[in-house]
Structure 1
Amino acid sequence: MIGGTALPGVRYYHPPTPVGARDATLTTDLVVYGATSGGVTAAVAAAREGRSVALLAFGDHLGGMTTGGLGTTDVGHPGTVGGLARAFYRQVAAAYHAPDPHWDAEPRVAEEIFERWLAAAHVTVLRRAHLSGVRMAGDRIAELRTDDGRRYHARVFIDASYEGDLLAAAGVSHTIGREASTVYGESLAGVQPSHNHQFQRPVDPYLRPGHPESGLLPGISADPHGPAGAGDHRLQAYNFRLAVTTGARRVPYPRPDGYDPDRYELLRRHIDAGIFELYGRTTRVHGDVFDMNNHGAVSSDHIGANYEWPEADYARREEIFNDHVRYQAGLLHFLANDPRLPAEVRDATRGYGLAPEEFGDSSHWPHQLYIREARRMVSDHVITQHDAAGRAGVPDPVALASYVMDSHNAKRVLVDGYPRNEGNVQQPLARPFGVPYRSLVPRSGECANLIVASAVSASHLAFASVRMEPVFMMLGEAAGVAAAHAVAAGVAVQDVDYGTLAKALTGGGGILTWPPVQSSGPPPAPVSSPATGSPVEGG
């Protein structure tokens, strides 16, 4: 078994059950690796096209962040959400007897919808399916292997993992981290001074206040801030999106194994300076259940702790995962119980607790770490800030992105002797922009039977808009339909006829251009949204 756990039942890697020789090989038209929201829609879309589909889930649950705690959806412009993504939020509305569509869903409600879809589409779902390798035959994946002993053969494969694990195993070009502003001519790329989620008062950063020789407090890096626009390996921070409640049934925030109150001394000093802001992005989902996101200078975002994640093996990822659990659970336990804190801070924290209806098999803690970015494919079209700034539309759109470019802080360093967070970008779009099919498929010659539904070809900056769950659902649907068409035509995924693909997507309610092309009547009226309004603090 890999690693220990910070909370009972909370794991990244769940040991598989080895299979016998009779069950060791599965052959289907399509294999989808990664049961994220985009993985689910990819599998359902391909199955509805008449293809046999296997969906490989890394853990025991389906839906990625949509079922993993992200209860309030980062929509952008509502008019850009179509196809299966729109159908999902309509079914959420039906579950709550609410106006259609309804953008917010408790995790268990979201997962029930996905489970129903997969069963109705007759998708073969396999859980605890951890990629162990691929066998290539020229420029095609001939076999995918998982560590339970299974081997999968398919005409087309889809990588719907947040990490891009399958594309990397297949040798597809990719990148990690932040490009310098000079790479694509992006003014907001690379290192960026942060204004959101920033320290509002000066805080002494040293273990012994006023004594630099004593060392820095936990959570502060000794690295330099760096010049604006410089590229690096760093990633925007990860966290868990918690389902919390103010109801009497709330579960007190648990004390994780290995809890160390000294880990939160920087937060304590910020509170002592008069700033307590942790619940600033805790938003109502339904009734008395809320989605708790990061907010503030020291928050649930575990800044600087995720750099190894994209290329780490499963054992190392388990360690990083549990460090995030320990950090975030410990932070909440600290705020609720540490006697050095003001009573009003402890009382405010204890006013919330974990929602007991959610995540019953993992201490009511989410099973999904919020992997906001990891690997990103580099293909014939890289989506960049120029697309978000209103560059002429692409000729092969398969979905629209409309949410603000929302990139969280990537490091915490000293500036003029005080801690500062760095890397947060909240940049509105000029208008919704198309995500092209070319950004879902590798360059010709690299892999002819792989489509990427999550770790698509985009710069760090532009990916910060593309990465929203409704977009992933739409990209998954596009990938599933394209895969079905590639199988039917017997062609490489790069050679799928775009006109046929676009017709199938729009026929299913997909929205590929902005404003949408309609058969009659005017286009939808603009609405106030992060697509065109002022920056927001979401995702």
Structure 2
Amino acid sequence: MKKQKLLTWLIAISILLPSYTSKKINLASIRQADVIIYGGTSAAVIAAVQVKKMGKTVIIVSPDKHLGGLSSGGLGFTDTGNKEVIGGLSREFYQRLYQHYQKTESWQWQKKDEYGNKGQGTPALDGTNRTMWIFEPHAAEQVFEDFAKENNLTIYRNEWLDRSAKGMVKESGSIRSFRTLSGNVYQGKMFIDATYEGDLMALAGVKYHVGREANSVYGEKWNGVQTEVFQHGHHFKTKISPYKIANDPKSGLLPEVSDKPAGEYGSGDNKIQAYCFRMCLSNHPDNRIPFAKPQGYDPARYELYARVFAAGWRETFDKFDPIPNRKTDTNNHGPFSTDYIGKNYDYPEATYARRQQIIKEHELYQKGLMYFLQNDPRVPADVHEKMQQWGLPKDEFKDNGNWPHQLYIREARRMIGEFVMKEADALGKTKVPNPVGMGSYALDAHNAQRYVKPDGFVQNEGDIGVHPDKPYSIAYGSILPKESECNNLLVPVCISSSHIAYGSIRMEPVFMILGQSAATAAVLAIENNVSPQKLPYEKLQTFLLKDKQRLEL
């Protein structure tokens, strides 16, 4: 306990000290623009580009050093669904990656014609539409930096929102300004929260939800607790004991198993789907770094994985998805994998220090998992031998020990806005009002808990994968707070959606689409001297279509 408190204190100091130091050296600034965007995600960059293209001033206030969020943080095997509904600047992002991979020098570790060129069911390198849907992290980050340079974007990095009551000035339902921990103040006419966490939205007093709603709330089927529902194969297919001494409850539970009951089927809870790092790995001998034993490594925490192997499971490499240059976007797969199940429930509303601790815990868990697979005698020989071929790439995430700089925040806060996107909407069964973009990916939720069933064996819960009938439209009202709560804020990432509808919406191409639409609405609201909620949809629709956004089938 003392060590945990010390770690929390040190993390807090590491975040805050640079800010307090800068206040001593530099006078705090008041920085103004028509539109202030908080966040460094893909949605933030695209939104800023759109504001600039429409002739207004914009500032990105980014707590991150790197631009692009998950799109440049390891998620290179893009979750796209129907690619035809990806338009506007989002599509241009993937077109620029296509152009990058046309260059001979972009293929350092692999010949272009050796790359398999398949991903998510369609060509990764699509010559017909000149798009590249699968890519390396550093290539994606360069595209975002190119966007920033070409549009002369003003970006302040490592700027963390002051989440205290003094962090925002709000009058008559409008945000006038917010400040960061460094003491800088950002004033604007319109604000966009483009973070994965929704911190600016929360500080503005906008209502939101964390966790899973009961199915009864919105008349849904796949939202609440989903015990005994298995749709992706990320569950225990054989009877595995969760106890330290197999089948002996008195011996205590193994690590990574909850001692809490799963809850009643269909009920709501505060649990959220698991996070992980989307690891970029390399199997090129000249570009890989073997996994070192991480700090505090304890092989006992992976005993459950050893028992899965002993039961005959052999799907370790099924989500080592190939990206260019003999690398992977490695994602969770199976009953025990890179998802750190049940260890993120407090992340959405946690302090910065606690979030950093959670992020570090995820990193150590995954590094330990990789070390286990490469070195533990309980790992089957064929898996052990193949794992020896993989390591972290020397040419990715160079300033972070070759480890991804962004944890996959699959879900955090979700706004309760003017319109709530629900299961039926995301399944293409309804016609939503005033569309500002489209989605098409499956309702995709990862496991939220690992528990002991009444029969004494372990099981996972929360993994859902339901495909929509057809691509669906996303309502303008889902990126708008209720006007009574805030009348100059748009939220294109933590949008107004039920948990399970968000399982489809939460894809990076969609975040970029909604970022562009939010920026367009912000600028038009300024020009028409109205709140975004009172902006005539016809005006917004005209601009979105002109910019080649796809709004409906």
Return the alpha-carbon distance in structure 2 between the equivalents of residues 424 and 14 of structure 1: 40
Cα deviation for residue 50 of structure 1 reads: 0.8
Q: SS of the counterpart of 2:348? A: helix
What is the match of residue 222 of structure 1? Answer: 259
What is the match of residue 362 of structure 2? Answer: 324
Return the alpha-carbon distance in structure 2 between the equivalents of residues 281 and 293 of structure 1: 5
Matching of residues 435-514 of structure 1 within 5 Å = 435-514=474-553
Q: Which residue of 197, 200, 221 corresponds with 1:187?
A: 221
Return the alpha-carbon distance in structure 2 between the equivalents of residues 280 and 38 of structure 1: 30
Return the alpha-carbon distance in structure 2 between the equivalents of residues 257 and 390 of structure 1: 47
Return the alpha-carbon distance in structure 2 between the equivalents of residues 3 and 32 of structure 1: 34
Cα deviation for residue 507 of structure 1 reads: 0.8
Q: Which residue of 422, 434, 442 corresponds with 1:404?
A: 442
Query: Greater CA deviation, 153-162 or 271-280?
Result: 271-280
Q: SS of the counterpart of 1:93? A: helix
Return the alpha-carbon distance in structure 2 between the equivalents of residues 212 and 251 of structure 1: 40
Return the alpha-carbon distance in structure 2 between the equivalents of residues 152 and 442 of structure 1: 20
The answer on whether the counterparts of 1:238 and 1:372 sit within 8 Å (CA) in structure 2 is yes
- State the Cα deviation string for residues 38-73 of structure 1 (Å, max 9, x = none): 111111101111111111121210000000000110
The answer on whether the counterparts of 1:359 and 1:365 sit within 8 Å (CA) in structure 2 is yes
Letter in 2 for 1:282: F
- State the Cα deviation string for residues 99-135 of structure 1 (Å, max 9, x = none): 2111011111111111111121121111101110212
Return the alpha-carbon distance in structure 1 between the equivalents of residues 72 and 525 of structure 2: 30
Letter in 2 for 1:210: N
Letter in 1 for 2:484: G
Matching of residues 229-268 of structure 1 within 5 Å = 229-249=266-286, 250-268=288-306
Is 1:347 matched with 2:388?
A: no
Return the alpha-carbon distance in structure 1 between the equivalents of residues 362 and 507 of structure 2: 21
Q: Which residue of 76, 90, 101 corresponds with 2:131?
A: 101
Return the alpha-carbon distance in structure 2 between the equivalents of residues 279 and 498 of structure 1: 47
TM-score (norm 2): 0.89
Return the alpha-carbon distance in structure 2 between the equivalents of residues 13 and 307 of structure 1: 24
Is 1:356 matched with 2:394?
A: yes
Return the alpha-carbon distance in structure 2 between the equivalents of residues 321 and 64 of structure 1: 14
Is 1:270 matched with 2:308?
A: yes
- State the Cα deviation string for residues 419-462 of structure 1 (Å, max 9, x = none): 10000110000111111111111112110110001000000000
Q: Which residue of 129, 148, 172 corresponds with 1:118?
A: 148
The answer on whether the counterparts of 1:14 and 1:59 sit within 8 Å (CA) in structure 2 is no
Cα deviation for residue 357 of structure 1 reads: 1.1
The answer on whether the counterparts of 1:89 and 1:103 sit within 8 Å (CA) in structure 2 is yes
Is 1:18 matched with 2:9?
A: no
Q: Which residue of 37, 40, 48 corresponds with 1:43?
A: 48
Cα deviation for residue 476 of structure 1 reads: 0.3
Is 1:426 matched with 2:465?
A: yes
Letter in 1 for 2:348: P
Cα deviation for residue 271 of structure 1 reads: 1.1
Change (3 A) 1:480 1:58: same
Is 1:34 matched with 2:18?
A: no
Cα deviation for residue 395 of structure 1 reads: 2.6
Cα deviation for residue 15 of structure 1 reads: 4.5
Q: Which residue of 180, 184, 197 corresponds with 2:234?
A: 197
What is the match of residue 310 of structure 1? Answer: 348
Return the alpha-carbon distance in structure 1 between the equivalents of residues 415 and 309 of structure 2: 41
The answer on whether the counterparts of 1:33 and 1:55 sit within 8 Å (CA) in structure 2 is yes
Letter in 1 for 2:362: H
What is the match of residue 525 of structure 1? Answer: none
Q: Which residue of 242, 245, 256 corresponds with 1:208?
A: 245
Return the structure number with greater helix share.
2
Return the alpha-carbon distance in structure 1 between the equivalents of residues 464 and 217 of structure 2: 18
Cα deviation for residue 23 of structure 1 reads: 4.8
Return the alpha-carbon distance in structure 1 between the equivalents of residues 532 and 459 of structure 2: 45
Return the alpha-carbon distance in structure 2 between the equivalents of residues 157 and 390 of structure 1: 30
Return the alpha-carbon distance in structure 1 between the equivalents of residues 516 and 15 of structure 2: 26
Q: SS of the counterpart of 1:295? A: coil
Query: Greater CA deviation, 457-466 or 248-257?
Result: 248-257
- State the Cα deviation string for residues 332-357 of structure 1 (Å, max 9, x = none): 01110113333222212122111111
What is the match of residue 128 of structure 1? Answer: 158
Q: Which residue of 414, 418, 424 corresponds with 1:386?
A: 424
Return the alpha-carbon distance in structure 2 between the equivalents of residues 457 and 354 of structure 1: 37
Change (3 A) 1:394 1:27: same
The answer on whether the counterparts of 1:388 and 1:430 sit within 8 Å (CA) in structure 2 is no
Return the alpha-carbon distance in structure 1 between the equivalents of residues 150 and 136 of structure 2: 22
Q: SS of the counterpart of 2:339? A: coil
Query: Greater CA deviation, 68-77 or 264-273?
Result: 264-273
The answer on whether the counterparts of 1:194 and 1:409 sit within 8 Å (CA) in structure 2 is no
Query: Greater CA deviation, 502-511 or 309-318?
Result: 502-511
Letter in 2 for 1:170: A
Return the alpha-carbon distance in structure 2 between the equivalents of residues 425 and 14 of structure 1: 42
Q: SS of the counterpart of 1:202? A: coil
Unpaired runs of at least 5, structure 1: 6-10, 515-539
The answer on whether the counterparts of 1:30 and 1:483 sit within 8 Å (CA) in structure 2 is yes
Letter in 2 for 1:105: F
Return the alpha-carbon distance in structure 2 between the equivalents of residues 331 and 390 of structure 1: 39
Q: Which residue of 187, 190, 197 corresponds with 1:153?
A: 187
Cα deviation for residue 4 of structure 1 reads: 5.7
Matching of residues 42-61 of structure 1 within 5 Å = 42-61=47-66
Identity within the alignment, %: 42
- State the Cα deviation string for residues 391-423 of structure 1 (Å, max 9, x = none): 331231000010000000000011221110000
What is the match of residue 72 of structure 2? Answer: 67
Q: SS of the counterpart of 1:444? A: coil
Return the alpha-carbon distance in structure 2 between the equivalents of residues 368 and 4 of structure 1: 20
Aligned residue pairs total 508
Query: Greater CA deviation, 50-59 or 458-467?
Result: 50-59
Change (3 A) 1:13 1:73: farther
Letter in 2 for 1:425: I
TM-score (norm 1): 0.92
Return the alpha-carbon distance in structure 2 between the equivalents of residues 400 and 293 of structure 1: 25
Q: SS of the counterpart of 1:31? A: strand
Return the alpha-carbon distance in structure 2 between the equivalents of residues 101 and 129 of structure 1: 33
Is 1:338 matched with 2:376?
A: yes
Query: Greater CA deviation, 269-278 or 324-333?
Result: 269-278
Return the alpha-carbon distance in structure 1 between the equivalents of residues 314 and 550 of structure 2: 42
Cα deviation for residue 13 of structure 1 reads: 8.9
Large movers: runs of 4+ above 4 Å: 2-5, 11-17, 19-23
Return the alpha-carbon distance in structure 1 between the equivalents of residues 247 and 158 of structure 2: 50
The answer on whether the counterparts of 2:316 and 2:383 sit within 8 Å (CA) in structure 1 is no
Cα deviation for residue 14 of structure 1 reads: 9.6
Letter in 1 for 2:409: I
